[in-house]
Amino acid sequence: MKQCKKFFVLCLLILASICSGIAYAEGIKLRQLQVEPVDQSWVINASYQIELPPDLSDAVKKGITFQFLTEFNLTRGRWYWLEEKAVIANKIIKLSYQPLTQQYRVNVGALTLSANTLEEALIQVGAIAGWQVAELSALDNGRQYDGAIRMRLDLSQLPKPFQINALNAREWNLTSDWHRFSFIPKYKSTGK
């Protein structure tokens, strides 16, 4: 009888760890970030892993458009005043489902991409390439800046009934942590 209880408790612990692992896997996580000079601009290339909880996957499949907001900023500390906000940039990426074509659409500005599965669409949403955030001259060469970036589901852009639901359900609050880093711009001046 004791062994049966131990086995039952062990099974419950394994089941709980599996379920908690599934819940932990859902969300937005930064996988890669690069800030580099390209031509006369500072450009960001980043990759996010996005996994939606079942409720959100169903909402997209039922026609709700999701807006993912990526926020980026660079600040520089000053001894005589508050931090200088050198760069503040936002990028909106929309995810929707088209029932007629049975495809997912990802809108990044004027560019529209299609995907056959939600997983493919989420990879496209999480791939940020060539995002121009500032002119090259906006940052002082060789000075240290503190950077931060995150991606989140913009709940304020959902239809009103879903906004109310999002307030009551934790899984609707889909956001990555702020990724903070130090950045020292290094580039060759063109003399222009």
Q: Model confidence over 41-91: pLDDT tens digits?
A: 999 999 999 999 998 999 999 999 999 999 999 998 766 777 788 999 999
Q: Which range, of 30-44, 63-77, 87-101, 168-182, averages the lowest pLDDT? A: 168-182
What is the per-residue pLDDT for 134? 93
| Chain centroid, CA 120 distance in Å | 15
State which residues form the domain around 142: 27-182
What is the per-residue pLDDT for 190? 58
Whose tokens are 């950045």? That residue is 183
20 lies in some domain: no
Rounded to whole angstroms, how far apart are CA atoms 124 and 106? 7
Whose tokens are 């859902």? That residue is 26
What is the per-residue pLDDT for 21? 39
190 lies in some domain: no
For the chain, the straight-line distance linking the first and the last C-alpha, in angstroms and rounded, comes to 84
3 lies in some domain: no
41 lies in some domain: yes
Higher pLDDT, 146 or 170: 146
Q: Report pTM.
A: 0.79
22 lies in some domain: no
The model's confidence at residue 11, banded by pLDDT at 50, 70 and 90, is: very low
Number of domains in the chain: 1
114 neighbors 105 (Cβ within 8 angstroms):
yes
170 lies in some domain: yes
CB atoms within 10 A of CB 158: 19
Q: What is the mean pLDDT of residues 144-169?
A: 81
Q: Is the model's pLDDT at 27 over the cut of 60?
A: yes
90 lies in some domain: yes
100 lies in some domain: yes
Rounded to whole angstroms, how far apart are CA atoms 32 and 21? 22
